[in-house]
Amino acid sequence: QTLYYGAGAGSQPTASAVIADLVDVARLITADPGHRVPHLGFQPDRMGDTPILPMDDVQSGYYLRLRLADRPGVLADVTRILADEEVSIDAALQQEPGEAEDQADFVVLTHITTERAVQSAIQRISQLESCEAPVVMLRVERLS
């Protein structure tokens, strides 16, 4: 035998859960069969085969943060590499370097492109003499 004691979830969370259950039951009773949403929202009849792409073929927008030497021509080198790899820039921002710093952060948001193109560009940018740190890359999903 076990004995459990204590405050529990409390009256507000318990009442909220009971009301949510009542709403689910009412929804299932009143909805026509074509609009019923099963418990947990899982609809196995709506499942389809979604192809899994090789990572190189995945398309997304990208956020790239580069730490670059602050001298003339560096941004031209970076944008030339992006253009060569067919990576189109959506937006770019260069952070002002601090006093006595000879490096600056350069942030790029790209239009939708392939992972292969971005990885190739990152590899080439990383080999530049002016690249002072590893390139930070994040995939950006646009939900609109």
Return the domain boundaries, the chain. Answer: 11-46, 55-140
For domain 55-140, the question of CATH label 3.30.70.260 is answered with yes
Other CB atoms closer than 10 Å to residue 92's CB: what's the count? 15
Report the run of H or E that residue 132 belongs to, with start and end: none
Q: What is the pLDDT of residue 39?
A: 65
Please give the residue that has the higher pLDDT: either 49 or 60: 60
Q: What is the pLDDT of residue 118?
A: 98
99 close to 26: Cβ distance less than 8 angstroms = no
d(CA 8, CA 11): 9
pLDDT exceeds 80 at position 117: yes
pLDDT band at 28 (very low <50, low <70, confident <90, very high): confident
Q: Cβ neighbours of residue 112 under 8 Å, at least 6 residues apart?
A: 59, 60, 61, 142
d(CA 121, CA 139): 14
pLDDT exceeds 70 at position 33: yes
